[in-house]
Amino acid sequence: MICAAFRLVLDLGDHPTPARPALFATWTARYRDLAARAATEGHLRPGTDTRTLTAAVVTTAFGSRVLARNPDAVADLPHRMTQAWQLLLPAVTDPAALEYFYQFALRREPHRTAPPP
**Mean pLDDT value across residues 96-113:** 72
CA-based end-to-end distance of the chain: 26
Going from N- to C-terminal start, the domains of the chain cover 2-12+23-106
Distance CA 8, CA 22 (A): 11
State the pLDDT at residue 7: 60
Q: Whole-prediction pTM value?
A: 0.69
Structure confidence by residue, pLDDT tens digits, 7-28: 655 555 556 666 656 767 877 8
What count of Cα atoms within 13 Å lies in the side-chain half-sphere of residue 44? Answer: 18
Do residues 81 and 101 touch, judged by C-beta distance below 8 A? no
56-104 pLDDT, tens digit each:
988 888 787 777 667 666 677 777 878 888 889 999 998 888 888 888 7
Please state, in angstroms and rounded to a whole number, the distance separating the CA atoms of residues 1 and 6.
9
The span from the CA of 101 to the CA of 93, in Å, is 8
What would the mean pLDDT of 22-44 be, rounded to a whole number? Answer: 88
